Chains A and B, each alone.
Chain A
Amino acid sequence: MNKRIIEAYVGEYASGKSENAINRALELNSQGRKVRLVDLDLVNPFYTLRPIKKELGQKGIEVVAWGRGEATGLGEAGSLLKPEMKWALHGGGDVVLDIGYGIEGLKVLNLIEGAAEDKFLKVYVVVNIARPMTAAVGDIIEYVTSLGEVDGLINNSHLGTETDREIIHEGAYIVSKVSQELGVPVVATAVAKEYAHLVGKKDPMGNPIKIIDLFMKDAYW
């Protein structure tokens, strides 16, 4: 059996961490691995994985998030930790953690039994430079440093429906700069499938391109 994969995706609000987490879970799933995807957005849980829980479940991923029916009676915002979330690392299989935004950042991992001391845990920071708070090298360094120890950076720079080559490349450049300064590798430049034609196998800085499917657009509206 392959080594267990445990990954946490963290990033600024609306940086695309959920999209990257979902795609990673799907990737592992397609390799025939057992995957559990955990929604740890405690600031705004009802806006993240809940609406697509069923769809992902049908693909064979175990999604630990509040479902529509389960949320009944839990109050308006449902900022609650589901017991299954606390024990997410137990029971084997791969685990992908979608860490919500918030000033406490990675401290959310304290809520997961065994996460802090898990030797397999890898933490990836998702960055979109079109987000004004993480647009410049200095701001991103400040942000990443505030998180504590991380294992890799993902350039997820895009402009939604107005994404062009320039923003992807600019993102690659800036995130690579951060990587050099911090000594943390860029593990990928993520590009939505709709914009795959804008890129090749590698971005101009030599980082691998990872094509992702977008799910969150169906999350609401």
Chain B
Amino acid sequence: MEQKPIQGEKKVFMTGNETVAWAALAAKADIMYGYPITPQNEIMHYWTRLAPKHNRKFLQTEDEISAGFTTVGGVLSGKRAFTATSGPGNVLMQDSLSMAEMMRIPIVMVVTQRGGPSTATVIYSQQETTLTCFGGNGEGIRVVYSTASHQELFDYTIKAFNTAWKYRFPTFVLGDGYQSQMREPLKIYDPDEKGIEFVPAVAQLGVEGEAGVDRDPIHLRNTYNMEDELYEVVRGLVDDFKAVAPEIEEYREQDVDDCEILVVAHGIVSRAVEGAVQQLRREGIKAGSFRPITLRPFPEKHLRRNAEKARKMLIVESAEGQLRRLAADAIYGCQTPMEGLFRPGESITVEEVVQAVKGLL
């Protein structure tokens, strides 16, 4: 029998991109389709080094449009297929992701956000939040996990495959260039030994039996002629998404019970925010933090519950209000004033968050 990529559990020290490659292996991904773009590259570098040793496959395509659509093909054929990209590549991939959204194709995609707009920097940002949540000509029928550490990159990449195949929505792991390149310790493990059960991948095309003889053919289409026909399809997608949203939503809160200033951040910025809240608490300032882990579906009720108790809110992000729009939409009607610490394409430190909160007192 083939050796498992990871036996038991072990503590390792690695970069975020490698973590994703190992997680995809552990999650029994069959094939990766991809196209080079920084800072995503080492996901492919490590996948291409590891995959043949574990009988997995890789295809480097001609662009991200193709990487997205080949992933669609792989998933339709019943394989656990995934891709990864960043920035302008993420823009091109939205074409295939819209298709995946419409046809409930459980694609898994890892995004390592780089600076924008356009090609900008390869370093870091949180500027692909809106794009990843709502890209394409669709309705944001997707699951987006925003990670903050390598441990989460590992855990949520594995989880993404299960979420995708369980609910049949395109599922994203939203990281960033810092998480890609940073090194930190984490535990990698064999999911089977942790009791993680994998939702089986099921073919949507090329199933048992001869079409038209043993069974009806499967005819999947993406194009509709009439408004009412389309409306029904989209209504179904939206209703299905809303129905399962509460079980998918994840968040993390800290010191919220008596907090006056609620600081909201996602992804790696939440690490600075949580550090700042600890420091502020030590100084006797009643700060708390809320971090949506799923940006789609957004944990609306939970943010609202906290927002309504707070005196003021501070949204902190390495983008110009992309998280703010998600938050404002989620708690529409709530009267708590909302301020922002926006640093598009730049990192945010604990000290900067501390200062910003103090400025609100």
Direct contact of A and B (CB under 8 A): yes
Q: Which residues of A contact B (CB under 8 A)?
A: 13-14, 43-44, 46-47, 76-77, 128, 130-133, 135, 158-162, 167, 220-221
Check B122 against A77 for contact (C-beta < 8 Å): yes
Contacts of A221 in B (CB 8 A): 178, 182, 268, 347
Taking A132-B22, A132-B188 as contacts, is the C-beta distance between A220 and B13 under 8 angstroms? no
Tell me, rounded to whole Å, the shortest Cβ–Cβ distance linking B178 to chain A: 5
Query: 6 smallest A-B Cβ distances: which pairs?
Result: A130-B13, A159-B185, A162-B185, A160-B185, A76-B122, A77-B38
* A-B contact list, 25 entries, CB within 8 Å: A13-B15, A13-B18, A13-B42, A14-B15, A43-B41, A44-B38, A47-B181, A76-B38, A76-B114, A76-B120, A76-B122, A77-B38, A130-B11, A130-B14, A131-B12, A132-B12, A133-B49, A135-B12, A158-B13, A159-B11, A159-B12, A160-B184, A161-B185, A220-B181, A221-B178
Q: Is B279 an interface residue (CB 8 A)?
A: no
* Closest chain A residue to B50, Cβ basis: A133
Check A220 against B178 for contact (C-beta < 8 Å): yes
Taking A76-B119, A220-B178, A221-B182 as contacts, is the C-beta distance between A131 and B38 under 8 angstroms? no
Cα distance A161–B123 when bound, in Å? 23
In the complex, which of the residues A14, A132, A161 has the most CB atoms of chain B within 10 Å of its own CB atom?
A132
Check B183 against A160 for contact (C-beta < 8 Å): yes
Check A130 against B185 for contact (C-beta < 8 Å): yes
Cα distance A133–B268 when bound, in Å? 26
Contacts of B6 in A (CB 8 A): 132
Besides A132-B14, A132-B22, A221-B268, 14 new A-B residue pairs in contact (Cβ under 8 A), listed by A number:
A14-B14, A14-B15, A44-B39, A46-B123, A128-B13, A130-B11, A130-B12, A130-B185, A131-B12, A132-B10, A135-B10, A158-B13, A159-B13, A161-B185
Contacts of B11 in A (CB 8 A): 130, 159, 162, 167
Interface size class of B (residues with CB under 8 A): 20 to 34
Q: Is B77 an interface residue (CB 8 A)?
A: no
Cα distance A132–B189 when bound, in Å? 12
Tell me, rounded to whole Å, the shortest Cβ–Cβ distance linking B46 to chain A: 8
Q: Which residues of B contact A (CB under 8 A)?
A: 6, 10-15, 18, 22, 38-39, 41-42, 45-46, 49, 114, 119-124, 178, 181-185, 188, 268, 347
Contacts of A133 in B (CB 8 A): 46, 49
CB < 8 Å: which of A14, A47, A76, A77 contacts B13?
A14
Contacts of A159 in B (CB 8 A): 11-13, 185
Cα distance A220–B183 when bound, in Å? 11
Cα distance A160–B12 when bound, in Å? 9
Cα distance A162–B114 when bound, in Å? 28
Number of A-B contacts (CB under 8 A): 69
Tell me, rounded to whole Å, the shortest Cβ–Cβ distance linking B56 to chain A: 16
Contacts of A43 in B (CB 8 A): 41
Cα distance A149–B215 when bound, in Å? 63
Contacts of A158 in B (CB 8 A): 13
Taking A76-B119, A76-B122, A77-B122 as contacts, is the C-beta distance between A131 and B181 under 8 angstroms? no
Contacts of B185 in A (CB 8 A): 130, 159-162
Taking A132-B22, A160-B183 as contacts, is the C-beta distance between A220 and B15 under 8 angstroms? no
Contacts of A162 in B (CB 8 A): 11, 185
* Closest chain B residue to A159, Cβ basis: B185
CB < 8 Å: which of A44, A131, A167, A220 contacts B14?
A131
Cα distance A159–B183 when bound, in Å? 9
Tell me, rounded to whole Å, the shortest Cβ–Cβ distance linking A140 to chain B: 15
Cα distance A141–B167 when bound, in Å? 45
Cα distance A132–B12 when bound, in Å? 7
Cα distance A2–B39 when bound, in Å? 43
Tell me, rounded to whole Å, the shortest Cβ–Cβ distance linking B322 to chain A: 20
Contacts of B38 in A (CB 8 A): 44, 76-77
Tell me, rounded to whole Å, the shortest Cβ–Cβ distance linking A115 to chain B: 25
Contacts of A46 in B (CB 8 A): 122-123
Cα distance A161–B182 when bound, in Å? 13
Cα distance A13–B182 when bound, in Å? 11
Cα distance A221–B38 when bound, in Å? 18
Tell me, rounded to whole Å, the shortest Cβ–Cβ distance linking A157 to chain B: 9
* Closest chain A residue to B268, Cβ basis: A221
Contacts of A77 in B (CB 8 A): 38, 122
Cα distance A44–B42 when bound, in Å? 10
* Closest chain A residue to B349, Cβ basis: A221
Cα distance A13–B184 when bound, in Å? 13
Tell me, rounded to whole Å, the shortest Cβ–Cβ distance linking A161 to chain B: 7
Contacts of B119 in A (CB 8 A): 76
Contacts of A44 in B (CB 8 A): 38-39, 41, 181
Contacts of B182 in A (CB 8 A): 220-221
Tell me, rounded to whole Å, the shortest Cβ–Cβ distance linking B212 to chain A: 49
Taking A44-B181, A130-B185 as contacts, is the C-beta distance between A220 and B12 under 8 angstroms? no
Cα distance A44–B17 when bound, in Å? 13
* Closest chain A residue to B124, Cβ basis: A220
* Closest chain B residue to A164, Cβ basis: B11
Cα distance A70–B15 when bound, in Å? 27
